[in-house]
Amino acid sequence: MFASRPAEPGDVDDIAELIYIADTGINGVSGWDLMFGGPRELLLEKIKWVYLHGRLTGFHYSKFMVGEDEGRIVGALAVLKRGDDRLLGWWKTLREMGVSVPRILSLAWKMLPFVLVNPSIPRDTLVVESAAVFPDCRGNELAAEGLKHAYERAVAGGYRRIQIAIVIGNDAPRKACEKAGFQVKDEYRSRLFEKRFGAPGMMRMVLELPEA
C-alpha cells in the first residue's frame, strides 16, 4: 500500500540517490557532477552530508517528504519557501564541510549555467524541488500525493501559489504537473546550460491557489 510521510535522517541512503536522480539533466549529467566532479559514490557521500547537516540548504531532510510502497521508499520531494536555499546558506554549509574559500568560489563559477536558468522564489510562493522516483517505481501515486502535500502546506501557510521548475523537454513531470493544474508561466533559456545539461533551460510551472 502506498503511503507518504516526512523524511527522517535514517532515509539518507535512498534520498541521496533520489536527489542525484532529480538533479540529472537529459544528457545524464547531474548538477552535483558539475559542482564537485568525481565518481558517483563520492558525490553520493557529499549529498548524504548535506542531507543530514545542511539545514541552511534546500536538501536538508527537514525539507523532504518520502513516498513508500509496501514499506520501501520509492520517491521523494522537497517543499521549500523563500529563503530555504540561499547562496549564503550554501556558503556556510560548504565551509562546514571543510571546503576552502577558493574552492567555493570555483564551485560557484561551475554552477553558473544552473543559476542562469533557475527561477527565483516569490515571497508568496511555496516551491516543490528535488522531486524524483526510482526508475523501477515510476507510474505509482507519488507525484499526485506529493503535490497534494505541497497544496495542503501552501493553503495552511497562506501562500498564493505553488511553483515547480522543470527542465525544458522533460515531458513526464511536465504532464504530471499539468494534470494537477499547473501551467507553464515562464521559460529560462541559456546556451551554456544547454551545453552542460543537454536541454535549452528550465520552465517555471505554477499552480495558483484560490483566495481565502
Cell of 197: 545539461
56: confidence class by pLDDT, cuts 50, 70, 90: very high
The residue-averaged pLDDT of 124-151 equals: 81
Most confident segment among 49-58, 80-89, 131-140: 49-58
**E strands in the chain:** 2-6, 64-69, 72-81, 125-133, 161-167, 183-189, 201-208
Task: Report the distance separating Cα 193 and Cα 144, nearest Å.
Answer: 29
Reported as a single tens digit per residue, the pLDDT across 59-83 is: 999 999 998 888 899 999 999 988 8
pLDDT of residue 211: 78
pLDDT of residue 83: 85
26 pLDDT higher than 80: no
Mean model confidence pLDDT for the chain: 89
Nearest CA among 166, 187, 188, 189 for reference residue 178: 166
pLDDT of residue 185: 95
105: confidence class by pLDDT, cuts 50, 70, 90: very high
pLDDT of residue 142: 65
pLDDT of residue 197: 85
30: confidence class by pLDDT, cuts 50, 70, 90: confident
140: confidence class by pLDDT, cuts 50, 70, 90: low
- Domains (range + CATH), the chain: 2-208 (3.40.630.30)
